[in-house]
Amino acid sequence: MRLFKVENSDEFTEYKEQAFKDEHKEQTMEVWLEKNPDSIVEDGALLIIGRQVATNQRSFIDLLALDREGNTVIVELKRGKIPRETVSQALEYTSWVESLEYAKLEQILRDYLNDENLSLLDYHKAYFKLEETEGVSFNKDQRIVIVGYEISQEVRQTALFLRKKGLRATCVEFNYFKTNSKEQLISVEIVVGKESLKKGRIQTATRPATTKKKFLDDLDENSSSVFMAILDLADKHKLLIEWGSVGFSLNVEVADTHVPFLMGYPKSAAYSQIIYTYYPAIAKRVNNGEELFASFKDRLRETGLFEKAGKEMKYVIRQKPTEDQIMHLLNLILDMAKQIGENALIE
């Protein structure tokens, strides 16, 4: 396959296919897939919850993810041709992942994002924009994804056999191109697992959603003023509040979609009374989202309330904030909501 860039002069500049392994380490592709999880599988986005996850056999899973239904996804990649032993390696990892309970998956995510206060349930729900009536049974099933520069016929045959037996195995080939001006291009092709899988409603419920009254009743005097102010702000300015099993997400509605950007939790939550940002939605659904989020983080830090938590910012409410601090935060939230609304990508 030959690829060309059409210049303003209507002339073609060819992208020359390169041997990826000649110039890059395996970790490079890990980073690229980690930042672009929508390109990995045939049926939509993945939520990456861990990278180089240690197993009980002293081996490491390149990327561990969850799909919309809560199934675990083991992603193994090689920068060159996929050797046949990669399949057995992936099956070994799958046998370990299959035994992981919810608490372990949540801890893997917390370690990955460096935030001990994170809820996997609510993070997953916000990431996939699940409806209030949709619950998730985590790790009910497992999936394997093998990514490489070249998928051998032996690996394809084995992956097809596994799919016939009920284990969802996907093989992805990539090609790497570069122009003389150093522009880079990656093409991705699913060579096993091309068939589309329907995204049905998830029926297996976990815990019912909380309510505004239950949430407010579960606050102490330190947090009640700031949470009541945020909820009142949402009502007044028509920001969408979505209630999870314990806390809520604050969203900007754009056309037929919404962008969550803050989450709040009460006293009884394992992470206690806390507010934290939601980077994935902003980065993915907002034009120049990473730059906007970086600015947002700096301004949150200036309130004197928030601290860094991996890619996110969190506000652990240990004492009652002043009225000035609350007003500063509310103005920041309004400005952030406005910028998200003006720059959101319409799907």
Tens digit of pLDDT at every position of the chain (347 positions)? 566 667 777 777 666 655 545 455 555 666 767 776 666 666 667 899 999 999 988 899 999 999 988 999 999 987 667 778 889 999 999 999 998 888 899 999 999 988 887 889 888 888 888 876 666 789 989 999 988 778 888 888 998 999 888 888 888 887 666 666 666 666 667 778 775 444 443 333 345 668 999 999 999 999 999 999 999 999 999 999 988 777 888 999 887 678 889 989 898 875 678 998 888 778 878 888 889 999 999 999 999 999 988 778 899 999 999 999 999 999 999 999 999 999 887 65
Q: Are residues 266 and 335 in the same domain?
A: yes
Q: Are residues 293 and 166 in the same domain?
A: no
* Residue 307: inside a domain: yes
Q: Are residues 45 and 91 in the same domain?
A: yes
Could you report the per-residue pLDDT of 134-143, keeping only the tens digit for each? 667 899 899 9
Could you report the per-residue pLDDT of 300-341, keeping only the tens digit for each? 999 999 998 877 889 999 999 999 999 999 999 999 999 999
* Residue 326: inside a domain: yes
Which amino acid is present at 135?
Answer: G
CA distance 148 to 173: 5
* Residue 125: inside a domain: no
Q: What is the 3-state secondary structure (H, E, C) of 224-290?
A: HHHHHHHHHHHHHHCCEEEECCCCEEEEEEECCEEEEEEEEECCCCCCCCEEEECHHHHHHHECCHH
How many C-beta neighbours within 10 Å does residue 236 have?
A: 9
Q: Are residues 155 and 66 in the same domain?
A: yes
* Residue 2: inside a domain: no
| Dihedral pair phi/psi, residue 325, rounded to 5° | -65, -40
pLDDT of residue 235: 95
pLDDT of residue 203: 38
Q: Are residues 155 and 47 in the same domain?
A: yes
The number of residues making up the chain comes to 347
Q: Are residues 261 and 163 in the same domain?
A: no
* Residue 9: inside a domain: no
Q: Are residues 36 and 160 in the same domain?
A: yes
* Residue 124: inside a domain: no
pLDDT of residue 131: 73
What is the domain-level CATH number for residue 237?
Answer: 3.90.1150
Domain that holds residue 57: 15-100+139-192
Q: Are residues 175 and 269 in the same domain?
A: no
Q: Are residues 179 and 265 in the same domain?
A: no
Phi-psi region of 46 (alpha: psi -120 to 50; beta: other; left: phi over 0): beta
CA distance 11 to 203: 53
DSSP, collapsed to helix, strand or coil, labels residue 1 as coil
pTM: 0.59
Q: Are residues 28 and 157 in the same domain?
A: yes
Domain boundary among the residues 192, 222, 257 is at 192
Domain count, the chain: 2
* Residue 176: inside a domain: yes
Q: Are residues 171 and 231 in the same domain?
A: no
Longest dimension (CA), the chain: 67
* Residue 131: inside a domain: no
pLDDT of residue 335: 95
What is the domain-level CATH number for residue 75?
Answer: 3.40.1350.10
Q: Are residues 310 and 166 in the same domain?
A: no
pLDDT of residue 200: 40
